[in-house]
Amino acid sequence: MAATVARATGGRAPHDGPPAGPAAGAARRPGRVRRVGLPYLLLLPALLLELLVHLVPMVIGTVMSFKELTQFFIRDWGAAPWSGLDNYTVAVDFDGPVGADLLHSFLITVAFTVLSVGLCWALGTAAAICMQDTFRGRGLLRALFLVPYALPVYAAVITWVFMFQHDNGLVNHVLHDQLGLTDKPSFWLIGDNAFVALLTVSVWKGWPFAFLIVMAGLQNIPRELYEAAALDGAGVWQQIRRITLPSLRPVNQVLVLVLFLWTFNDFNTPYVLFGKSAPASADLISVHIYQESFATWNFGRGSAMSVLLLLFLLVVTGVHLAVTSRGRRVRTRA
Amino acid sequence: MRSIRAAAAGAVTLSLALAASACGGGSATGGGSDDSPKTLTYWASNQGASVEADKKVLKPELEKFEKETGIEVKLEVVPWSDLLNRILTAATSRQGPDVLNIGNTWSASLQATGALLPWDTKTFDEIGGKDRFVDAALASTGKQGEDPAAVPLYSMAYALYYNKQMFADAGIAKPPATWDELVAAGRKLAQDGKGALGAEGSNLSENVHHAYVFARQHGVDFFTDDGRPDFTDGHAVAAVKQYVDLMAKDKVIAPGNAEYAQNQSVSDFAKGRNAMLLWQSAAANLTSQGMDPGAYGIAPVPVQSGAPGPGTQVNSLVTGINIAVFKNTDNLSGAKKFVKFMTGAEEQKILNKAYSSIPPVEAAQSDPAFATPDNKVLKETLARSAVAVPQVPAESQFETAIGTAVKELFADAAAGRPVTTQSVRAALEKAQTQMPAA
């Protein structure tokens, strides 16, 4: 690679004229190499970093998933015996305890992701549309709405832990002591309510991002469209339905995909809220896999589960891109 | 053109640097050496009120060691929440400290990874011999029949701490000696609207420690003789149920305790919100929370009936800290010198006093500081009625599995759901499926 680089960068000026015999061809080649090679060369650091940070660990993780990598081999994991597809078989045997737990965790994660992404999107879009027109204090409100997104995750979630505490938490103080909505103080960090607690924190943390992106998307909708629609007698709802939402479609497609991937993979929120063993009602798959690896010291099985998760997310992303790009093509042709 | 060339040259340089750094970075992959005899890295567990407090205790001792041997010790105090993961990562990458503290219950699990230096007779002789240490502490250093994976450093035991004033107010003359007496006392205390017994329902280690002692009192220990997990035995189920029933049925543990995992129960006790606490060597912790040592009494943890002793009369784990040498150390002889220094009689007195633990070294135990009423109870418990956790490779996984099962049962109890023999058995059955196949 270094030799090619030296040739490519040390060549002569580009030669754009038609070939005029062998001598001219020889003169043209370094120019083409340079033109074609330069983008790749400039991408090289990013590519190497990508290899180092993402791809190599992913390959190693995949290799690990075919090994019986338990505590007896972690010091020299090259010596761990190959286990073929055993780790995968155990993980997808939904009649067995390990597979059943994984399936349960997967379903919880799907439900959590759908609700969280849906609420984040709805809240973000509603807020962005409400703030489309200028009014006094808009800048301040915008800044205020973005605060949860700007806060460090750990600090913010730890604050939520305090608020959700049974005995001294703010949530119970308001819901039970002040509003009297519950018979007795509820538990939010253990038991079935943990799902609600997790969803609350996730939406609180995630919706400002949707707000930000939709707000940016709204800047691109020409004002004339609204004016024309108003002249034609369209009300606010019709304007939102017929102009705003269709114009936001390309933004929403990316936004929903990104929110989905972030939420589905979220590790920090459940880990900081619940610690190493999340309650069954909020057993998100990222923490489940962590638990499977670090609490049982069975890194082979944990890796197999990670590979399955990766495949699932690849399929979802692939389908999403295929569907949305087909939609784009159809619209372009129309 | 020049700027493109500069950018290209920069890209190549950066790429080469990345490639070089990806290839480098590894060292010390053998079985220990003396390549850097002048320094040691030491991971200490967090024994005192905070990481900073521990540094204050340890720094002067490490300076003393440096003066004696010329070896500089780089100290890192690792919080409990990170320690096991850090050790696992160190074992996997072979990039770890030279010397480290481990929770003594992890000894057999970490021994199985092969990451720690085995202490055979010859190695023990280099630090003054095995017989310097008390037997109870040595029992928790690794699998029986194999060379220990670590050396005892601090010993601790559970005791019942009780608030003298609250007991007097409720008309309770003496601390409960059996669980029935504890429940009766708890009900009396609860009548006044006061908290009776504190617990850490979401702390997996505390849960498993109590569940294990209850199991031993019921005559089982969660494992078969050949080391396979056996969580669903009727006695094991009854033992776990008895512990969770303290909240579910007897109502002597307040439901809020089900979500405690950050030593809130210690703080509750120190602030007079609970009258009783089952805790290991709590004196230093209580003092740091502002509780006057005269305000509480200390008694042995209750048993089913009779007095504490061996067999089903046990009432505590042998808890504590062991000190281990990482097999990949590049200062093997320095590491052994350091272990010898830390387990020397003088250092043992200083350190165990600071952490309100009991020295596992016999020569240090005679110090008057360890003859206080607090320490007398702990010393007697360690000598007579404390038991080591099973020394099996899957011990660490056992702690997590049972600890989680008990946490979920406490969550049920707190939410007012019934805790029955069936539900306890189901929780333990699930825990057993999480254990590695033996």
pLDDT in tens, B363-397: 998 888 888 888 889 999 998 999 999 888 889 88
Contact A46, B16 (CB under 8 A): no
Q: How far is A90 from chain B (nearest CA, A)?
A: 12
pLDDT in tens, A158-178: 999 999 999 889 999 999 999
**CB within 8 Å: B408 and A49:** no
User: Does A6 fall in a domain?
Assistant: yes
Contacts of B8 in chain A (CB under 8 A): 5, 8-9, 38, 41-42
- How far apart (Å, rounded) are the C-alpha atoms in residues A78 and A59? 14
pLDDT in tens, B229-274: 999 999 999 999 999 999 999 999 999 999 998 889 999 999 999 9
Cβ pairs bridging A and B (under 8 Å) = 118
pLDDT value at position A282?
Answer: 95
Contacts of B201 in chain A (CB under 8 A): 190
Residues A45, A108 within the same domain: no
Which of B15, B110, B329 has the highest number of chain A CBs within 10 A, making it the mutation to test binding with A? B15
User: Does A321 fall in a domain?
Assistant: no
* Triad B343, B348, B350: Cα angle to 5°: 145
pLDDT value at position A327?
Answer: 66
User: Does A18 fall in a domain?
Assistant: yes
Residues A273, A171 within the same domain: yes
Nearest to B407 among A44, A74, A277 (CB): A277
Is 50 exceeded by the pLDDT of residue A2? no
Contacts of B12 in chain A (CB under 8 A): 2, 5, 41, 44
pLDDT value at position B22?
Answer: 43
Q: In what order do the strands lie in the sheet with B151-156?
A: B72-78, B39-45, B99-103, B319-325, B151-156
Give the DSSP letter string of B132-158: GB-HHHHTTSS-TTS--SSEEEEEE-E
Residues A41, A119 within the same domain: no
Contacts of B115 in chain A (CB under 8 A): 74-75
pLDDT value at position A260?
Answer: 95
User: Does A86 fall in a domain?
Assistant: no
How many other C-beta atoms are found inside a 10 Å radius of the C-beta of residue B249? 14
Is 70 exceeded by the pLDDT of residue B203? yes
CATH number of residue A211's parent domain: 1.10.3720.10
pLDDT value at position B24?
Answer: 37
**CB within 8 Å: B415 and A189:** no
Q: What is the CATH number of domain B158-317+390-433?
A: 3.40.190.10
Residues A173, A260 within the same domain: yes
Residues A12, A129 within the same domain: no
DSSP state of B50: S
Whether the complex's predicted ipTM is more than 0.90 is answered with no
Task: Write down the architecture of domain B39-156+319-387 according to CATH.
Answer: 3-Layer(aba) Sandwich (3.40)
**Which range has the top average pLDDT, A4-13, B210-219, B366-375?**
B210-219
Number of domains comprising chain A: 2
Tell me the three-class secondary structure of chain A, residue by residue: CHHHHHHHHCCCCCCCCCCCCHHHHHHHHHHHHHHHHHHHHHHHHHHHHHHHHHHHHHHHHHHHCCECCCCCCHHHHHHCCECCCHHHHHHHCCCCHHHHHHHHHHHHHHHHHHHHHHHHHHHHHHHHHHCCCCCCCHHHHHHHHCHHHHCCHHHHHHHHHHHHCCCCCHHHHHHHHHCCCCCCCCCCCCCCCHHHHHHHHHHHHHHHHHHHHHHHHHCCCCHHHHHHHHHCCCCHHHHHHHHHHHHHHHHHHHHHHHHHHHHHHCCHHHHHHHCCCCCHHHCCHHHHHHHHHHHCCCHHHHHHHHHHHHHHHHHHHHHHHHHHHHHHHHHHHC
Residues A171, A291 within the same domain: yes
**CB within 8 Å: A166 and B397:** no
Residues A25, A131 within the same domain: no
- How far apart (Å, rounded) are the C-alpha atoms in residues B381 and B375? 10
**CB within 8 Å: B259 and A189:** yes
Q: B186-205 b/e with 16+ CB inside 10 Å = b?
A: bebbbeeebbbbbbbbbbbb
Q: Domain range spanning residue A12? A: 2-52
What average pLDDT does chain B have?
A: 90
pLDDT in tens, A103-153: 999 999 999 999 999 999 999 999 999 998 888 888 999 999 999 999 999
Give the 3-state secondary structure of residue B311.
helix
Query: What residue ranges do the domains of chain B occupy?
Result: 39-156+319-387, 158-317+390-433
pLDDT value at position A77?
Answer: 79
Which of A283, A290, A273 is closest to A105 using CA atoms? A283
pLDDT value at position B276?
Answer: 97
Q: Which of A284-293, B171-180, B419-428 has the lowest mean pLDDT?
A: A284-293
Which uninterrupted H or E stretch holds B235? Answer: helix B234-248
Residues A243, A138 within the same domain: yes
B23 — pLDDT class (breaks 50, 70, 90): very low
Residues A267, A154 within the same domain: yes
Contacting residues for A115 by C-beta, under 8 A, at least 6 apart: A199
